[in-house]
Structure 1
């Protein structure tokens, strides 16, 4: 390991908070009074912020947020302090890795290419303003209410942007990049996931960042999710409108990248969630949204498939599936390991896809006799358990199908009692 890699590795392991380190060459004169005022305005504008901070003096505010620490009796800015409210000259001199870019590509044509090297609070506001014209809305009417739904959820955009600045590795050269192109919105930052977090456990891993001091300040100002679960807001921003999931697949040990794909909102799905919210008096949980999204794309899934593809425990999965089934949003067939799940009839009706529901729920039933006969030809004979496993049926349902084939003269019993089997009549 090279000396310059030590800070990155320690922060990966959670043993070094690089953002909490004092910047020894700096003084409080490097902090910008205008940025301090911006900080206070941001705190005042967010309901989730720590409003008690507004009652503090400038020095106490900085100490409370750990923007400064005492070194040899003098208040010295930390890296977090310089990043949030430092002046641009000091940042370029002392934190040369601080850089961000906002780019817009239409096809291969560059429409916007802006670079930012100022303090983070200012940069976040500037990027948010630059992004607005490139985030058109679609009018959506649900019941008696109409609203304009932006192409990219604004809350998800803010969380992804703040996370990129809050979790990036400031010991690495590189920049936070916000790109709008034909594929969608991509936000990327230098520095991979910290130890123990990867693309497969993003939604369940304990919140743990690379720069706790910086993220704590962003949370207390109201810019970041106070619970540390900003990732949930990013996923909800897509799922609540029936859009494709955020894509973190391009992330690696050198950087994190998330793509929010372009997609129009699914009106029928939004209406369904609104109806369910009115019925239950609460919003759909993130786990519930993930299950519905999976079944919407896969049509029908067994428990093992859901468990393997969704980031939740088996116990939690069973609980949420039970709740969705009780609400009529999901239907199941079969028992035990053979049980499969699909979206409920009212989901298909709501989206005007009743015929697709009939296909999904009934086509197998129509084909049951042919499938059983085919298995009889392959195995010479079948047992009731074979049919249960083949068709994901309960015991009495499998017996009914076999008995019907016998009565129709298409199958015959072989043996009796527990050892009875059934063979095709040639």
Structure 2
């Protein structure tokens, strides 16, 4: 677009607003401001705000010095409204024009400025009329997956993907005869083919890679691995542009590579079991949820960013209509790709609609990890961060013991979240019915007779105490301190004393070193003041939490086994 094109635009028909703004223009001080017009134009399904051109016909270029740092303006608007605008500068005889292109609001969601949904009325910005407001909130997102992809036919579908879908459907529905149906019959029964035409659900789920790349390239998934969150260049990158019934396994294999998905050994008594950095059920559910709910009209890909301590899954399009971060676990939503979601449910790839997020929360919290984090989401993308750190091993064992017992009822996401809140001392907004249920099954009790505050059952706190000790010989905190100090090489006792002076004295350090040598964790070389201590060779390639976990697990096998 050039200045000549801008001059031809009409304010009402072309959704454009011209402002002279010769020296400056209000950013947010009143309705008639950058933020006010951004909201109003977004509510009109998008448009342009142009500074430096008069609003009377013929539109004259007067030039504007407002918002010379257009990059900062874009950042500020995104910060304040969550809207990604695009800015362009044009010049006519050295007179500067700034054009701000504003995208449409999401379907079914009016935008607000100072808690008021705005619309343009002549030269004014007014509260949106009831008629316009109702028309917006009653909008329904069309089912993109149901739309026919006119250019393809059955020959453009991947035979292996079709067989996988048939096998999954047959297994989930307990219908062996489904395996013997013809491809045309299967596609017709599942509504992937209508009047011999394949829809986009069929393309996404079953299309050959080259066909997907040609007709829906944004449906690919990009996986990137970085060794640090702050790192910009990736260490490894793959593009997955396969039919979903094949792609989901490829995605999991990338995430689950040796060295990228580590084990956390957890011990309870004589038994040791592992928690993985990335739980397969969680990852598959999160990925399929992202693919089913993403907006395919946006020409951006789903992106997975994997790091040693977290994974981020980002998909284009905000939350579906009616869904927010606050009501994510309580509201019943309608997926954007309803047909595709229905097939994923029928084939057992995802939970029943609306329960996928519940499953992600349940597993993450039950493993003693942090709550899934959607805080980086906005109107134009959903971003999910999953942390790997097992923050509370005792809580994981506490939940596991109950869920694997013969006691009923088993806990769902609401019960587990309530337990987490009580564990953390949060008592506001707890559901009385859930609290009562947890009390009845003996997982919580009142902190005292005359209070409405609760604590978890005693065995949780006993588990915490148990986790802090290794037999009668060591404290976990001391082992962690010594291990981390020696992870980069050998040290003398004086060097250890300098490093650990705020935590351990010389006698404590000396005692621990001798005991750890006896227990084949450390070795020493040299004599007298030249003695150097280092980890046994079997630990030298380990670092951080992984190193600590292995050493503690080895010691617990020896001292916590009765």
Q: TM (normalized to structure 1)?
A: 0.71
Higher relative contact order (CA 8 A, sep 6+): 1
Residue in 2 aligned with 1:135?
261
Residue in 2 aligned with 1:397?
none
* Shift, 1:329, TM fit: 3.0
- Find out whether 1:59 has 2:184 as its counterpart: yes
Counterparts of 2:274 and 2:235, CA distance in 1: 25
User: 1:301–1:342: 8 Å Cα contact kept in structure 2?
Assistant: no
- Find out whether 1:84 has 2:209 as its counterpart: no
Q: Kindly name which structure, 1 or 2, has the bigger radius of gyration based on alpha carbons.
A: 2
Q: Any gaps of 5 or more consecutive residues in structure 2?
A: 1-44, 48-102, 110-136, 469-562
Counterparts of 1:63 and 1:248, CA distance in 2: 37
* Shift, 1:289, TM fit: 0.7
Residue in 2 aligned with 1:324?
438
What SS is found at the alignment partner of 1:122?
helix
Map residues 345-384 of structure 1 onto 2, 5 A cutoff: 345-352=458-465
What SS is found at the alignment partner of 1:101?
strand
Residues 7/198 of structure 1: CA separation in 2 closer, same or farther (3 Å cut): closer
* Shift, 1:330, TM fit: 2.3
* Shift, 1:349, TM fit: 2.3
Q: Larger deviation: 226-235 or 97-106?
A: 226-235
What SS is found at the alignment partner of 2:204?
helix
* Shift, 1:101, TM fit: 0.6
User: 2:262–2:276: 8 Å Cα contact kept in structure 1?
Assistant: yes
Residue in 1 aligned with 2:235?
111
User: 1:49–1:222: 8 Å Cα contact kept in structure 2?
Assistant: no
Map residues 21-420 of structure 1 onto 2, 5 A cutoff: 21-43=147-169, 47=172, 53-70=178-195, 75-107=196-228, 108=231, 110-133=234-257, 134-142=260-268, 145-264=271-390, 266-277=392-403, 278=405, 280-297=407-424, 300-302=425-427, 305-307=428-430, 317-332=431-446, 339-352=452-465
Residues 252/224 of structure 1: CA separation in 2 closer, same or farther (3 Å cut): same
Counterparts of 2:175 and 2:381, CA distance in 1: 31
Counterparts of 1:40 and 1:210, CA distance in 2: 24
* Shift, 1:25, TM fit: 2.3
User: 1:138–1:148: 8 Å Cα contact kept in structure 2?
Assistant: yes
User: 2:322–2:333: 8 Å Cα contact kept in structure 1?
Assistant: no
User: 2:320–2:333: 8 Å Cα contact kept in structure 1?
Assistant: no
Structure 1, residues 84-104: CA drift from partner, whole Å, max 9, x if none?
A: 111222222221322211111
User: 1:68–1:77: 8 Å Cα contact kept in structure 2?
Assistant: yes
Counterparts of 2:252 and 2:335, CA distance in 1: 23
* Shift, 1:7, TM fit: 12
Counterparts of 1:143 and 1:205, CA distance in 2: 41
* Shift, 1:111, TM fit: 2.2
User: 1:329–1:346: 8 Å Cα contact kept in structure 2?
Assistant: no
Residue in 2 aligned with 1:19?
145
Determine which structure has the larger helix proportion and give its number: 1
What SS is found at the alignment partner of 1:284?
coil
How many residues are paired up?
Answer: 336
CA RMSD, 1 decimal = 3.0
* Shift, 1:214, TM fit: 0.8
Structure 1, residues 169-205: CA drift from partner, whole Å, max 9, x if none?
A: 1110111111111440111100111111111111111
Counterparts of 1:38 and 1:138, CA distance in 2: 32
User: 1:32–1:85: 8 Å Cα contact kept in structure 2?
Assistant: yes
Structure 1, residues 58-97: CA drift from partner, whole Å, max 9, x if none?
A: 1111112221111xxxx01100001111122222222132
Residues 182/136 of structure 1: CA separation in 2 closer, same or farther (3 Å cut): closer
Counterparts of 2:274 and 2:326, CA distance in 1: 33
Q: Any gaps of 5 or more consecutive residues in structure 1?
A: 308-316, 356-426
Residues 280/80 of structure 1: CA separation in 2 closer, same or farther (3 Å cut): same
Counterparts of 1:117 and 1:148, CA distance in 2: 32
Residues 80/129 of structure 1: CA separation in 2 closer, same or farther (3 Å cut): same
Counterparts of 1:155 and 1:113, CA distance in 2: 23
Residues 32/326 of structure 1: CA separation in 2 closer, same or farther (3 Å cut): closer
Counterparts of 1:342 and 1:288, CA distance in 2: 14
What SS is found at the alignment partner of 1:280?
coil
